[in-house]
Chains A and B, each alone.
Chain A
Amino acid sequence: GENVEQHPSTLSVQEGDSAVIKCTYSDSASNYFPWYKQELGKRPQLIIDIRSNVGEKKDQRIAVTLNKTAKHFSLHITETQPEDSAVYFCAASDPSGTYKYIFGTGTRLKVLA
């Protein structure tokens, strides 16, 4: 089945700097890759997603890139702010047609003021 690896597990950046989180997946047939943000004690919430027919997607300070050949996708946050501090999860759709989603192990992002 699908396997998703996420790096780094923790990331500290200065306010205003950029942050990049990377994920790799194992099954080349996966076609949907969402990113979730989870604040302390809260539920994960979707912040951006990308489908396999697109190479890049942007939403204000957040962007996601997808490299299907290498089977990896990345989350880019520019001009980081303290409120960006949270745990971020990547996920990949299981291509078996069952609409399962396999998550990475998460990245704890700390934005230092």
Chain B
Amino acid sequence: DAGITQSPRHKVTETGTPVTLRCHQTENHRYMYWYRQDPGHGLRLIHYSYGVKDTDKGEVSDGYSVSRSKTEDFLLTLESATSSQTSVYFCATNQQGSKYGNTIYFGEGSWLTVV
């Protein structure tokens, strides 16, 4: 399971409040990702990181920000939660890239409900 832990695992929050999800890894993987999973949409990339303080946007980054101050931690923040951000959020990691892609490993997921 690549030593990835997400917290919190379940959260209910109110519209307009800020929310931070944390991803912690113990494998010293360089690359980290945040995906959201919604019915009919599969897994969509929100943001990713290719090193400490190095981040970039994915497919659905509006309304989200990320930070990576240490190799092992990647934080996802919803600045002002909306009902459309109700979803399951998965963190994933990938070791240093090779000529071909490497396996990405997923955390257990964080279920977020915005009411």
A interface residues with partner B (beta carbon < 8 Å): 1, 6, 9, 31-32, 34, 36, 42-46, 49, 51-53, 89, 91, 93, 98-106
Interface hit among B19-27, B66-74, B77-85, B101-109 = B101-109
The interface residues of chain A lying within 8 Å CB-to-CB of B104 are: 34, 46, 101
Q: Could you tell me if A98 and B48 are in contact, using CB atoms closer than 8 angstroms?
A: yes
Given contacts A31-B100, A99-B31, contact A44 B90 (CB under 8 A): yes
Residues of A near B42 (CB, < 8 A) are: 6, 89, 103-106
Binding site for A on B (CB under 8 A): 1, 31, 33, 35, 40-45, 48, 50, 56, 58-59, 90, 94, 97, 99-109
Complex interface: chain B residues within 8 A of A52 (CB): 100
Q: How far is the CB of A52 from chain B (nearest CB, A)?
A: 7
| Known pairs A100-B45, A103-B44; A49 contacts B50 (CB<8 A) | no
Chain B residues in 8 Å Cβ range of A36: 106
By the criterion CB–CB under 8 Å, are A99 and B97 in contact? Answer: yes
A30 CB to nearest chain B CB (Å):
9
B107 touches A43 (CB 8 A): yes
- Establish whether residues B100 and A89, one from each chain, have CB atoms under 8 Å apart when the complex forms: no
CB distance from B12 to the nearest CB of A (A): 17
Contact A43 B97 (CB under 8 A): no
Quick one: which of B100, B107, B109 contacts A32, CB cutoff 8 A? Answer: B100
Residues of B within 8 A of A91 (CB): 43
From B44, B56, B105, B106, give the contact of A98 (CB < 8 A): B56
Interface pair A32/B43, CB less than 8 Å apart: no
Bound complex: CA A34 to CA B101 (Å): 9
**Which residues of A are found within 8 Å of B35, using beta-carbon distances?**
103
Report the separation of the CA atoms of residues A106 and B42 in the bound assembly, to the nearest whole angstrom.
6
The residue that A99 contacts in the complex, of B43, B44, B94, with Cβ under 8 A, is B94
A43–B90 Cα distance when bound, in Å, is 8
Contact between A44 and B43, CB atoms less than 8 A apart? yes
